[in-house]
Structure 1
Amino acid sequence: MTQGRSIRLFLVDGTPNGLLTAEIMNWTGHVLTGPRTKLTELVQRPECGRTGIYFLVGPDLEGSPRPQVYIGESDDVGTRLKQHNRPEDKGGKDFWEKVCLVTSKDQNLTKAHVKYLESLLIQSASELGRCKLVNGTAHEYINLPESDRADMAFYLEQIRTVLPVLGLDFLRQRQSPLTQSKEQPAQQAPTTTFELNISKYKIAAWAQEVDGEFIVLAGSKARERWASSTDYASYKPLYQQLTEEGVLVADEAGGVSFTRDHAFSSPSAAAAVVSGRPANGRTAWVEKITRKTYGEWQDQQVNAALS
Structure 2
Amino acid sequence: MGDQLVSTRPKTIQIYLPGGDPRGIRVAQITTGIVHVVEVPRSLLGQFLKMPESQKVAVYFLIGQGNDTEDPKVYVGQTADMRVRFPRHNAEKDFWERALVLLTSSDSFTQTHALFLERYCLQEVKKAGRYVPTNGNNASRQDIPPPLEADCYELFDIGRMLLTTLGYPLFEPLVPLQQGDEQPEMLFCRASGADGRGYYTQDGLVVLQGSTGRRENVPSMEGTSAGRRRERLIESGVLRVEGDRVVLTKDHIFDAPSAAAVALTGRSADGWSEWKNAAGKTLRELKGAPATTVE
Please indicate the TM-score interval, normalised by the length of the shorter structure. 0.7 to 0.9
- Correspondent of 2:232 among 226, 232, 240: 240
Q: What is residue 33 of structure 1 aligned with on the other side? A: 39
Taking only aligned residues, the RMSD between alpha carbons, in angstroms, comes to 3.1
Match of 2:265 among 275, 279, 282: 275
Q: Give yes or no for the alignment of 1:210 onto 2:201.
A: yes
Q: CA deviation at 1:236?
A: 3.9
Q: Distance in 2 between matches of 1:37 and 1:72?
A: 20
Pairing 1:15-94 to 2, within 5 Å after superposition: 15-60=21-66, 65-85=70-90, 87=91, 92-94=92-94
Separation (CA, whole Å) in 2 of partners of 1:63 and 1:8: 29
What one-letter code is carried by the residue in structure 1 that aligns with 2:103? T
Q: Hey, what does 2:184 align to over in structure 1?
A: 191
**Bigger relative contact order (CA 8 A; separation at least 6):** 2
Q: For 1:144 and 1:297, locate their aligned partners in 2 and report how far apart those are by CA, in whole Å.
A: 50
Structure 2 residues without counterparts, runs of 5 or longer: 1-6, 290-295
Give TM-score, length-normalised by structure 2: 0.81
Indicate if the aligned counterparts of 1:28 and 1:106 stay in contact, CA closer than 8 A: yes
Q: Which amino acid aligns with 1:106?
A: S
Counterpart contact for 2:189–2:197, Cα < 8 Å: yes
Query: Equivalent residue for 2:131?
Result: 131
Q: How does 1:94-109 map to 2 (within 5 A)?
A: 94-109=94-109
Cα displacement (A) at 1:112 = 1.6
Give the Cα–Cα distance (whole angstroms) in 2 for the partners of residues 63 and 211 of structure 1.
17
Q: 1:22 Cα deviation (Å)?
A: 0.6
| CA distance in 1 between partners of 2:61 and 2:96 (Å) | 9
1:162 alignment counterpart? 162
Partner Cα distance (2:18, 2:110) in 1: 26
Q: CA separation of 1:223/1:142 partners in 2, compared to 1, >3 Å: closer, same or farther?
A: farther
Distance in 1 (CA, whole Å) between partners of 2:201 and 2:94 is: 36
Q: Aligned pair 1:263/2:224, yes or no? A: no
Give the AA of the match of 2:82.
V
Query: Deviation at 1:238?
Result: 5.4
Describe the shift of the 1:15–1:122 C-alpha distance in structure 2 as closer, same or farther (beyond 3 A).
Answer: same
Percent identical among aligned pairs is: 27
> What is the TM-score with the length of structure 1 in the denominator?
0.78
Q: Does 1:286 align with 2:276?
A: yes
Do the aligned partners of residues 4 and 225 (structure 1) sit closer, same or farther apart at CA in structure 2, a change above 3 Å counting?
Answer: farther
* Counterpart for residue 183 of structure 1: none
Following the alignment from structure 1 to structure 2, what is the Cα–Cα distance between the partners of residues 230 and 12?
42
Alignment-derived partner of residue 220 in structure 1: 211
Q: Which amino acid aligns with 1:53?
A: V
The 1:112/1:231 distance shift into structure 2, 3 A limit, reads farther
Contact 2:240 2:246 in 1 (8 A): yes
Correspondence for 1:298 among 276, 287, 290: 287
1:79 alignment partner AA: V
